[in-house]
Amino acid sequence: MSSRRANAPEVRESIEAKTASVDVEMKDTPDDDIDAEGDPDVDMDAEGDEDAEGEEDAEGEVDDEGRPDMYRLIHNLSTYLCSVQDDGEQLAAGFQRIPNRRTLPDYFEIIAEPIAFSTIRGKTQKKQYGSFAEFVKDVAQICHNAQVYNRPSAPIFGAAVRLREILVQELKKLVEKGHINANDAQLPDLGELPPAEESPPAEDDEEDEEDEEEEDEEEDEDEDEDDDSDDEGGRRRGRRRRGVGRRDQDKDYEDDSHKRRGRPPSVLTPNEARIASLLKGLRKPKDAAGNLLVHPFEKLPDKAAVPDYYTTILNPIALDNIKKKAKRKKYQSIDHVLQDLNLMFENAKRYNEDDSEVYKAAVELQKEAVFLAEQEKAKPDDDFRDEDGKLPLAEIQHNGQAWKVGDWVHIRNPNDLAKPTVAQIYRTWQDRAGQRWINACWYYRPEQTVHRYEKHFFEHEVVKTGQYRDHQIEEVLDRCFVMFVTRFNKGRPRGFPLDKEIYVCESRYNEEKFTFNKIKTWASCVPDEVRDKDYEMDLFDVPRRMKKIPSPIKHLLRDDAKETDELPKPTWGSPNAPPIVGAVHRRKREANVTNERPA
């Protein structure tokens, strides 16, 4: 046998130790959510722990030598931190679970190490802490993350500050009693917090986040109403969800046919659903001790800790790599993902001893993967229709072309055939009658919006709306392309036909308030499926000057228009098309409105 294979226990330890950063699944997360990579909580939330009540400090039970067991100490301190209250509310209530990745994607862009008390409970139960200092670092990270992501005016920010203070107090007590040493009680330096001046007061939240609210609300409307509102992201989202209700009651928007229709929920094609089911099924087999067999395969071992693994295994792969590929729709079939799973298991069998636990787990899971794959392939596509009879499609073939999520299209506009609706495809499906459909986000032309008469627009400008509408594939006329303003002056998409229209987008348009808000992050404006995909460009020799021109409907301003007038309304026509024409007014400028005059 190879001497390298004798290192199997260390490899298992290295791999399992890495799983702490994986999201712990929220109880109400949909079962088929491919982002739900973590295990269910191994413990109830702190309020359900019997030993949390009436505890005056976090001291653990001691052994005959007067020192508490490390894991008992960790359990008692974390339970105490979860139970401590301030003004009748548990300070740690918002830190029990990591926010849902699909619901709050920007959290995972801002926070490098997401962690929650559910993560700590899982690591404690699985005995994954090598030292008490590692636990202290995790609690400090929870508090630090909340302060980085939330505004100082937010209640959860204050809760994080207070919880950190209590942690320091309890650690001091444990040092004084000799249960831990001073080094273990030292909180790590996790980096500086964002400057306070970048965090406006709470009352300014709605205005400051106006340019992002469309996307956040659209996603929130699609989430289950029972979604856990106590997690850190949930509290941040709650304010926006209330805002939706206010706007939906706006008297100016009583015509249901023209109301904003939010982003469609994320759905899986039959192939994607089969793959998700296979990966989920691999998380069920357990060993005699009740541990999941899949744990050693979650992450690759640390290169510094196990360097010889990478000299022995030429094509390393772990379950997290496979899940990422599945999420990014890299697998064309269930057999395709099975190839990677087999590679992962064969790697484990090659490196580890035949009688090791990892080797045995690889053998059993490899058989289980084949069984699950055959089971999924036997299911007809019709089994994957939703409750409305929609069968998600990876793409639609129409007029000799393939149309898929992320494509920019011109859609027939019954209100003005000369001005097709600019849109981006978000969903593709087929109904029970065989009719193929797309759901697309509309982009309005300047003349379809309501704005101040002095407002200027870029040539070829469109604005993103909150309208996500269903259209039969036959309504799709042609391809077009929309570029973010920061790239439009630098070049054009490589290979895009010269006879096709290319538009520029700088702002979101709120057609309930008739406001324009500059987009900060273009990735938040496109479907999840294409957020990590970029397009190559043919660059101009030098960046081109972007010219702004007066409103194309400036002439519609009434002669008697005054600053005190009510906001005018657009003129609507067909219920499934943008307005026939927008409107202009002379009202005072809003502080956050963009592009009133040319620069």
One-letter-per-residue 3-state SS of 323-377: HHHHHCCCCCCHHHHHHHHHHHHHHHHHHCCCCCHHHHHHHHHHHHHHHHHHHHH
Q: What is the pTM of this model?
A: 0.52
What is the rounded CA–CA span in Å between residue 341 and residue 424?
34
Residue 301's identity, in one-letter code, is: P
Q: Which two tokens stand for residue 560?
A: 């008697």
What is the rounded CA–CA span in Å between residue 362 and residue 257?
55
Q: Where are the alpha helices (DSSP H) in 86-231?
A: 105-110, 117-125, 132-149, 155-176, 205-208, 210-222
Q: Is the dihedral of CA 101, 106, 107, 112 positive or negative?
A: positive
Q: Which CATH superfamily is domain 391-585 in?
A: Bromo adjacent homology (BAH) domain (2.30.30.490)
| End-to-end alpha carbon distance in the chain | 74
Nearest residue to 19 (alpha-carbon basis) of 112, 126, 106, 104: 126
Segments making up each domain of the chain, as ranges = 20-246, 270-381, 391-585
Cβ atoms within 10 Å of 270's Cβ, excluding its own: 20
What is the rounded CA–CA span in Å between residue 22 and residue 320?
9
- Predicted confidence at residue 101, as pLDDT, reads 79
Confirm if 70 and 132 have CB atoms less than 8 A apart: yes
What is the rounded CA–CA span in Å between residue 363 and residue 342?
10
Burial 230-239 (b: 16+ CB within 10 A, else e): ebbbbbbbee
Residue 155's identity, in one-letter code, is: P
Q: Which two tokens stand for residue 330?
A: 């890299």
User: Does 20-246 match 270-381 in CATH topology?
Assistant: yes
What is the rounded CA–CA span in Å between residue 359 and residue 350?
8
The residues of the chain scoring below 70 in pLDDT are 1-68, 195-262, 265-266, 590-599
Query: What CATH number does domain 20-246 carry, 3.40.30.120, 1.20.920.10, 3.40.630.40, 3.40.50.1860?
Result: 1.20.920.10
* Three-point CA angle 238, 243, 244, nearest 5°: 100
Burial 26-45 (b: 16+ CB within 10 A, else e): beebeeebbbbbbbebebeb
Q: Which two tokens stand for residue 255?
A: 């015509």
Which residue is listed with tokens 């039970």?
Answer: 61
Which residue is listed with tokens 């098309």?
Answer: 577
- Predicted confidence at residue 529, as pLDDT, reads 83
Per DSSP, what are the bridge partners of residue 549? 457
Cβ atoms within 10 Å of 478's Cβ, excluding its own: 16
- Predicted confidence at residue 6, as pLDDT, reads 45
Confirm if 292 and 283 have CB atoms less than 8 A apart: yes
What is the rounded CA–CA span in Å between residue 566 and residue 441?
28
Half-sphere exposure in the Cβ direction for 447 (13 Å, CA)? 14
Tell me phi and psi for residue 306, to 5 degrees: -130, 70
Cβ atoms within 10 Å of 494's Cβ, excluding its own: 10
**Domain covering 270-381 in this structure, CATH number:** 1.20.920.10
